[in-house]
Amino acid sequence: MIAESLKKAGRQVGSPGYSRNLTLPVTRTIEHRPDCCAACRQSFADNTDYRPWNARFELELEIGNAESPKLQIEHSRHDYFSATCPCGHQTRAEPGRGADEDGWSVALSEWHLCGPRLVSFFGLSLIVPTGIAQQNPSLFARLAGNLPQHQHHQSMHS
């Protein structure tokens, strides 16, 4: 029930995410380029003429680490590039298709506005007492499953 309402909310806000008014500053830009031709599997050369064809913005929750837990929204811009192979086929990098986006666990074919941690945050905010994120960010992060308790062990820091 919760997941369904979140998905609906995400769609309303996020589609099409790249055309809405943007007032938040972008904290980082991530570029996505296809490695090889989707038709003949030939790798693209270093001097390939990549062309931007789409972009999306992502809001994600940054939780810091065990020593300095924090709750902060990061605003990323994802640029997607296309390239044309010598065989004539045009290949586009697309959201949720790359190995660097394995964290996207739901409906990978869609364009999402919120990253997985932020979606968890919304989910948790429905079931934990109001204010716990501000009062105890470390506990909140563990609840969110992003800071396993064994990270506190000394061996993890070296």
Binding to Zn ion (CB under 5 A): which residues in 2-61? 37, 39-40
Nearer to Zn ion, 22 or 40 (CB): 40
Nearer to Zn ion, 59 or 85 (CB): 85
Determine the interface stretch with Zn ion among 8-16, 27-35, 89-97, 109-117 (rule: CB under 5 A): 89-97
Residue 152 binds Zn ion, judged by CB under 5 A: no
Q: Contact with Zn ion (CB under 5 A): which of 3, 26, 36, 87?
A: 87
- The CA distances from residue 134 to 14, 62, 137, 142, 146, in Å, are 26, 14, 6, 14, 17
Identify which of 30, 20, 14, 43 has the alpha carbon closest to the alpha carbon of residue 113. 14
Residue 85 binds Zn ion, judged by CB under 5 A: yes
3-state secondary structure of 153: coil
The conformation of residue 156, written as its DSSP 8-state character, comes to G
Least distance from Zn ion to the Cβ atom of residue 22, Å: 35
Least distance from Zn ion to the Cβ atom of residue 88, Å: 7
CA 86 to chain centre: 32
Helix, strand, coil percentages for the chain (3-state, nearest 5) = 30, 25, 45
Residue 107 binds Zn ion, judged by CB under 5 A: no
> Footprint of Zn ion on this chain (CB under 5 A)?
37, 39-40, 85, 87, 89
